[in-house]
């Protein structure tokens, strides 16, 4: 069976995207992390000795020629990307679980179930790390809507903290 040039390019493109998205953020320098953490608008949320800070957020919907699961407006489901900083420098080892939701301007929440996270949800004693969250199955909200993400982190003892990202506007990609 002979594979055409476009098919080879498509497979290569998917592999490159997958490798780029799955790359852990551990290779970033401490200066870059400190610059991100010093974001003056970032609010830190505490969970039993750990501080969790939402650093950045970006939302978009896609209208490329081929959209998987298009909505009534022919656009993709909402994509959401967020960077979080976890500071466990004063705490012991923690295994966390979390749930993520999109919250619109009226307070309506939509759970996100399909996502990629650059972390295994275990924090070692004294560890700090930046993690990246990417979801691709959000609601079909209109471009230009103001929304934010809400993460509920829970530790093994059942203690929880709700972490809210800054609000962002849904962009459109064509």
Is residue 73's pLDDT more than 70?
Answer: yes
pLDDT in tens, 116-166: 988 899 999 999 999 999 999 999 999 999 999 999 999 999 999 999 999
Identify the pLDDT of residue 36: 38
How many domains, the chain? 1
| 5-38 confidence digits (pLDDT tens) | 444 444 444 433 333 433 333 333 333 333 334 4
Lowest mean pLDDT across 31-40, 50-59, 87-96, 122-131: 31-40
Structure tokens at 117: 């996270």
Distance between CA 123 and CA 156 in Å, rounded? 12
In a domain, 7, yes or no: no
Structure-model confidence comparison of residues 42 and 151, the more confident one: 151
Please report which confidence band the pLDDT of residue 53 belongs to, taking 50, 70 and 90 as the band edges: very high
Residues 65, 74: Cα–Cα separation, whole Å: 10
Q: Which domain holds residue 74?
A: 29-173
Residue 91 falls inside a structural domain: yes
| 111 belongs to a structural domain | yes
Q: What is the pLDDT of residue 42?
A: 67
Domain-embedded: residue 23: no
Contact in structure between 108 and 148 (CB atoms under 8 Å) = no
- 16 within some domain: no
125: domain CATH number?
2.60.40.3880
Contact 100, 115 (CB under 8 A): yes
| Whole-number pLDDT of residue 68 | 86
pLDDT recorded at residue 128: 95
Output the average pLDDT for the chain: 81
Query: Is 76 domain-assigned?
Result: yes
Residue 6 lies in a domain: no
* DSSP per-residue string spanning 144-163: T-EEEEEEEEEETTS-EEEE
Per the domain annotation, does 66 fall within a domain? yes
How much is the average pLDDT of 53-79? 93
Q: Which residue would you say has higher pLDDT here, 114 or 9? A: 114
């Amino acid at each position: 069976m002979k594979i055409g040039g476009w098919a080879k390019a498509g497979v290569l493109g998917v592999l490159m995207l997958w490798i780029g998205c799955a790359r852990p953020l551990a290779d970033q320098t401490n200066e870059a992390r400190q610059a991100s953490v010093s974001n003056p608008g970032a609010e830190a949320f505490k969970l039993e000795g750990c501080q969790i800070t939402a650093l950045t957020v970006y939302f978009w919907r896609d209208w490329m020629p081929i959209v998987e699961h298009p909505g009534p407006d022919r656009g993709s489901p909402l994509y959401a990307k967020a960077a979080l900083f976890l500071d466990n420098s004063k705490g012991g080892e923690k295994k966390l679980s979390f749930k993520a939701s999109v919250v619109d301007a009226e307070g309506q929440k939509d759970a996100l179930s399909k996502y990629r996270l650059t972390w295994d949800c275990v924090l070692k004693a004294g560890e700090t790390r930046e993690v990246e969250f990417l979801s691709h199955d959000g609601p079909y909200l209109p471009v230009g809507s103001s929304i934010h993400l809400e993460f509920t982190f829970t530790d093994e003892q059942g203690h929880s903290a709700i972490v809210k990202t800054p609000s962002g506007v849904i962009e459109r990609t064509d």
